[in-house]
A = this chain, B = another copy of it.
Amino acid sequence: MGTIILRYGELALKGGNRIAFVRRLRRNVRVALKSEGLSAEVRSVGQRVYVTTDTVESALDPLSRVFGLVSLSPIVQVEADMDAIAAECVRQAREIGLNAERSFRVRARRTDKTFPHISPQIDRLAGEAIVRETSARVDLSKGADVTIGVEVTHEGAMVFGRSIPAPGGLPIGVEGKVVVLLSGGIDSPVAAWMMMKRGCGIIPLHFGQNEVETAKALDNARALERYAYGWRIRPEVVSHDETIAPTLDALRRIGEERWSCVFCKRALLTRAAALADELGANAIVLGDSLGQVASQTLANMELISYGISKPILRPLIGMDKTEIVAIARRIGTFDISTREAESCPFLPSRPITRGRMDKLLEIMERLRQEEGIET
């Protein structure tokens, strides 16, 4: 039986937000462990969450994908005795690979005030033992390469040196639901992941242009599931025919085929807004980044979002492609998104890149009057 300490670190948590945060975090942690078939006890003590389980190593991987956690450390329990504590510190320092080129610090806390050494003495004695055995350099600042934690309680002492990073953010579920337009490309799965990271449950909506891209989008949704403990991802797929085919035909008839992409995206957003209303979601999420392709201009964004009733969130709007790709690799969607692609069969030869609002309104009016189509 072992214990893992879970750290959460949202700087700005206040009052009621904090209570809801920690409750949901514990729930999502339980779901993470249960869905991997692990049994464990999850409890809060002060500002920390502890997991007790007999499968510590297996629990680390799923826990490292729970939003709201910034890091986790398996704890080794030893006797509340200074020699035993120092010996365990040395053992973990070696395990982590501390050596003359790396720095460390020991940070002790003592809740058992009858323990014969106060915290700074524990730091110093354990630190000296580590220096003796590994030649590592002491650095008492936050900048140390490794921090080894010690806690001395009435029940014994705990030592934790390994620190496994977790994604940070807020527990999924505390910030409501969003509909995400999910494609087979690189950007939209990253946008979805970032909103999950900020506590949103996601509802993927995919526009099925062809089977290749739909398969990639659904695989992306599955890849995101690995981070979705506490939320069930149920992708919706809408077909080209039911969404936009009549409008595209009509645009061709009135000689405005270059506007196909604008009207297609507007139709998708209208559909997404309706789905959001139906499922109680408050916003629509897009993978838009500025200037990546000729049509991702501010002018086109204005046309595309004109009159859409839900807020449109674009978490990648200020990011460079290199930054987006780095996240896609980390979360496991990059290899899916970069599989063989099949381009949209409805792409006109020269799509509008900086369309004007008055022209959009004029075309909408012509579609209504000449073709009987509401857009």
* Contact among B14, B170, B318 with A191 in the assembled complex (CB-CB below 8 Å): B318
**Complex Cα distance A311/B313, Å?**
10
**Complex Cα distance A14/B298, Å?**
17
* Contact among B177, B290, B299, B302 with A198 in the assembled complex (CB-CB below 8 Å): B290
Residue interface bits A181-224, CB-to-B below 8 A is 1, else 0: 00000000001001101111000000000000000000000000
Interface centre among A12, A15, A170, A291 (most CB of B within 10 A): A291
**Complex Cα distance A293/B174, Å?**
13
Q: Are B314 and A302 in contact (CB under 8 A)?
A: no
Q: Are B321 and A200 in contact (CB under 8 A)?
A: no
Question: How near does chain B come to A172, taking the closest CB pair, in angstroms?
Answer: 12
Q: Are A321 and B10 in contact (CB under 8 A)?
A: yes
Whether A302 contacts B292 in the complex (CB less than 8 A), given A168-B322, A317-B198, A317-B315, comes out as no
Q: Are B302 and A282 in contact (CB under 8 A)?
A: yes
Whether A290 contacts B191 in the complex (CB less than 8 A), given A301-B283, A314-B314, comes out as no
**Complex Cα distance A229/B260, Å?**
37
A289 contacts the other chain (Cβ, under 8 Å)?
yes
A162 contacts the other chain (Cβ, under 8 Å)?
no
Chain B residues within an 8 Å CB radius of A170: 290-291
Interface size on A, residues (CB 8 A): 54
A176 contacts the other chain (Cβ, under 8 Å)?
yes
A9 contacts the other chain (Cβ, under 8 Å)?
yes
Question: What copy number does this chain have within its complex?
Answer: 2
Question: Within A292-342, which residues are at the interface with B (CB < 8 Å)?
Answer: 292-294, 297-299, 301-302, 305-306, 309-322, 325
Q: Are A9 and B291 in contact (CB under 8 A)?
A: no
Q: Are B290 and A302 in contact (CB under 8 A)?
A: no
Q: Are B176 and A298 in contact (CB under 8 A)?
A: yes
Q: Are A283 and B302 in contact (CB under 8 A)?
A: yes
Chain B residues within an 8 Å CB radius of A293: 12, 14
A11 contacts the other chain (Cβ, under 8 Å)?
yes
**Complex Cα distance A303/B89, Å?**
54
Whether A11 contacts B283 in the complex (CB less than 8 A), given A194-B318, A305-B311, comes out as no
A225 contacts the other chain (Cβ, under 8 Å)?
no
Whether A320 contacts B168 in the complex (CB less than 8 A), given A199-B291, A290-B199, A311-B301, comes out as yes
Chain B residues within an 8 Å CB radius of A310: 302
* Contact among B177, B198, B325 with A11 in the assembled complex (CB-CB below 8 Å): B325
A169 contacts the other chain (Cβ, under 8 Å)?
yes
Chain B residues within an 8 Å CB radius of A176: 297-299
**Complex Cα distance A124/B321, Å?**
33
Question: How near does chain B come to A288, taking the closest CB pair, in angstroms?
Answer: 9
A101 contacts the other chain (Cβ, under 8 Å)?
yes
A175 contacts the other chain (Cβ, under 8 Å)?
yes
Q: Are B294 and A175 in contact (CB under 8 A)?
A: no
**Complex Cα distance A28/B195, Å?**
34
Chain B residues within an 8 Å CB radius of A302: 282-283, 310-311
Residue interface bits A148-175, CB-to-B below 8 A is 1, else 0: 0000000000000000000011100011
Give me 8 other A-B pairs in contact (C-beta within 8 A), A16-B294, A176-B299, A191-B318 excluded.
Answer: A9-B322, A14-B294, A176-B297, A198-B319, A198-B320, A199-B290, A315-B315, A315-B317
